[in-house]
Structure 1
């Protein structure tokens, strides 16, 4: 391996290392969000098991429109 190939290898490793450093926070955040979603889903399932079955709410085709009161 000559000097040019070694410099190319070092440059490639530096670029890949920088890419990992930039992408790592996003990956950690996505994994954290998935964990929180899973915990919320499990908590809702536990609460539903404690409360028992709920009667189904009928939903209309359109959303209700509520307007803020102006003072």
Structure 2
């Protein structure tokens, strides 16, 4: 193996390592998202099996976004 082959091998390995370093965070993120989605799905299925009928645990008080939107809708537009 002469110097040209060694340089080519070093260059290819460098590019491969850089590619792995760029792609690895995305692959870890995808795996994490899939795991979270699976847990959410399992929790939903367990809730359906245990409860039979869905009950809402949400508050009946409207959210801030709803309150803001209703206030904005009630104001009349003034044309100038």
**What is the TM-score when the length of structure 2 is the normalising length?**
0.67
Taking only aligned residues, the RMSD between alpha carbons, in angstroms, comes to 1.8
Structure whose alpha-carbon radius of gyration is higher: 2
Which has more helix, going by share of residues? 2
Q: Structure 2: 5+ residue runs without aligned partners?
A: 55-68, 76-80
Q: Structure 1: 5+ residue runs without aligned partners?
A: 55-67
In 2, Cα distance between the equivalents of 1:42 and 1:21? 33
Paired positions, count: 59
* Higher RCO structure (Cα 8 Å, ≥6 apart): 2
